Amino acid sequence: MEKLQFKCNIHPSYDINLIRFHKDISQVLSCACCIEEQDDLAGVTSISFQKMIEATQQTYFYNWPPYEKEVSQQLKQQLSNFFTKMDDMNQKMINDVMSFFQDLRDQIEKKISSVQQKCIKFIQQQQEQESNLVKEYNNISRKLDIQKIINDDSKSIFQKNQELKKIVDDALEQKPKNTQKIQKIAKQVESNQQFNLSMLERVKSQILSNLDLFNKQMDNQQNKDYDLQQQINMSSLSQILRNQFNQFSISFIDSLEQAISSNFYLFSEIFQQPIFKKEYININYDSLQDHHYTDILKLAQLISHLPNNKSKQIQSYKKTHNLINNFLNRASQKQSVQNLLMRYPIFELIPEVQEINEQKIQLLKSNYNQSAQLFQIYNLDTLYPQVDYTNQQLQAFCDFIINPSLKYIFKIEISQSANRQNLQFGFGLGRDTLINHNLYEQKLMYFSDGQWGVDKVVKGQNLTQQEISRNIHFYTIKLCILENIFEVLDSVENINVVSINQEITDISKFKDLRFFVNMCSNYKKGDWIRIQQIEIVKQFI
């Protein structure tokens, strides 16, 4: 900046270089002579004249303005620190933002270039095939040869005729080979997909609408006050959604999560924090306080006041709503919570009702190792030992062959006798041809104390360890042969799941499986294992 010159009005040949403040000094704008001629005065405050002229919003004068003496020193230092830091911080933030966007641009550019390359390569490959077809046609049609013969003035008509006749004969002879050759290339070319620009257009508009999220976030940041008024404590709702009860299959949770993340734009407006995390937590409905209900009501109001176009957007996510609806329907044990959640317009759609058919239960005795005489079937559904364990396993199986395409839910109950701590038992699948063999050999079993097929821990603790299983009295089993699903859940604690290891075991290849229950060892008279219920459902949720 060019230095501005101001002359002292008392000493006109000298430049003003200081601004001085003191109750006894009337010459505020001072030159060097003014200072020289000044008597010694205590408490004169001087600041640079030049610095004042060049001052911006960010310029800080340590000694200006005057403050109350008691706080003066501290306040000056505080302000000085703040101004210094603010300057650095602002620059740092600007740098951060600039490098953020530079990085984003670079990454986008890189990805787009790579996709562009792919598209061009795709088209070029197709063009190459097309030009191959032309080349091959020209080759076998021998157009050029024919032209050459006709145009050759050195040849007589007779010669030309003869040579052309030879080409015709050759062509006839080559007919099968040529047909095959040209047909093959023609087929390739025909099967080429027309390059689809509209697919790219779709992706483009998705990307652009995602980029709009930046704008939205910025707007939110600027309208902070407005936001604060609307602020909602989402913890109660997100806890409910994040919670996983054992009746939901992992794949159901995954599909719900996927549905929500693919509609992120909508949900980011409704839910202020991530809804799904891998670490699910159980919610204690009794602990919900009044303010939780208030929060949920506030959310409902917020959603109902979304602009109309947003409501349309909401309507278009019907599938997602159904998923959420089903989820909430099952998750909300407390009617009151469910009612509140259902007040949201987004949850208004009627949930699909699960159609359930019950399968009649009848257990039949298996005579493995002549053990049939050692136990009774009681009430068609319960295996009772008649003797204390010596060395025999007791087995019973259902009277029907499992339909591979149906989805079954088995509920099993184990006796709660004093002997329960030592009891070893199992249940699972056995082939129809092997009903009198030992089940464990087929390795399609859940066993309370070891690994026999259904032993991969999907969630929670390992149910195949006796210190865990000895406290479980109810089991739920999800079974679908065709889809290779065989999961065992503990229905009481609702936190543990084991499954067949689908990478090792493929039950879908079997068409003749029956469901078995088994008393393995350490049983006493009075112990029992019972199939409480068998349901056939449309889907596992």
Helix-helix angle 290-304:235-242, to 10 degrees: 90
Closest to 501 (Cα-Cα) out of 491, 519, 488, 515: 488
Give one DSSP letter per residue of 367-378, joined into a string: -GGG-GGGEEEE
Contact 44, 26 (CB under 8 A): no
Binding mask 225-264 for Zn ion (x = CB under 5 A): ----------------------------------------
- Report the residue number, 9 or 162, with the smaller CB distance to Zn ion: 9
The region, left, alpha or beta by phi > 0 then psi within -120 to 50, assigned to residue 443 is left
- Report the residue number, 31 or 323, with the smaller CB distance to Zn ion: 31
Note whether 55 binds Zn ion by CB under 5 A.
no
Tokens of 183: 């047909």
- Report the residue number, 30 or 263, with the smaller CB distance to Zn ion: 30
Q: How far is the CB of 41 from Zn ion (least distance, A)?
A: 16
Binding mask 7-26 for Zn ion (x = CB under 5 A): -x-xx---------------
Q: How far is the CB of 24 from Zn ion (least distance, A)?
A: 16
Contact 478, 491 (CB under 8 A): no
Binding Zn ion (rule: CB under 5 A), the pick from 31, 240, 409, 435 is 31
* Region from 4-12, 309-317, 368-376, 512-520 binding Zn ion, contact rule CB under 5 A: 4-12
* Region from 5-13, 154-162, 255-263, 454-462 binding Zn ion, contact rule CB under 5 A: 5-13
Q: How far is the CB of 6 from Zn ion (least distance, A)?
A: 11
Q: How far is the CB of 23 from Zn ion (least distance, A)?
A: 19
Question: What's the DSSP call for residue 441?
Answer: G
Tokens of 353: 């009702």
Q: How far is the CB of 28 from Zn ion (least distance, A)?
A: 11
Total number of residues that touch Zn ion (CB under 5 A)? 6
Q: How far is the CB of 22 from Zn ion (least distance, A)?
A: 15
Exposure on the CB side of residue 344, measured as CA atoms within 13 A: 23
CA of 232: how far to CAs of 296, 301, 302, 373, in Å? 8, 11, 9, 66
- Report the residue number, 34 or 363, with the smaller CB distance to Zn ion: 34
Contact 519, 396 (CB under 8 A): no
* Region from 31-39, 156-164, 167-175, 214-222 binding Zn ion, contact rule CB under 5 A: 31-39
Q: Which helix (H) or strand (E) holds 88?
A: helix 69-141
* Region from 1-9, 164-172, 405-413, 414-422 binding Zn ion, contact rule CB under 5 A: 1-9
- Facing residues of 411 across strands? 476, 533
Note whether 34 binds Zn ion by CB under 5 A.
yes
Binding Zn ion (rule: CB under 5 A), the pick from 4, 28, 33, 123 is 33
Q: How far is the CB of 10 from Zn ion (least distance, A)?
A: 4
Closest to 117 (Cα-Cα) out of 125, 107, 106: 125
> What b-and-e string marks burial along 111-150, b requiring 16 or more CB atoms within 10 Å of the CB?
eeeeeeeeeeeeeeebeeeeeebeebeeebebeeeeeebe
* Region from 6-14, 177-185, 188-196, 358-366 binding Zn ion, contact rule CB under 5 A: 6-14
Q: How far is the CB of 221 from Zn ion (least distance, A)?
A: 52
Note whether 28 binds Zn ion by CB under 5 A.
no
Q: How far is the CB of 214 from Zn ion (least distance, A)?
A: 57
Q: Which residues bind Zn ion (CB under 5 A)?
A: 8, 10-11, 31, 33-34
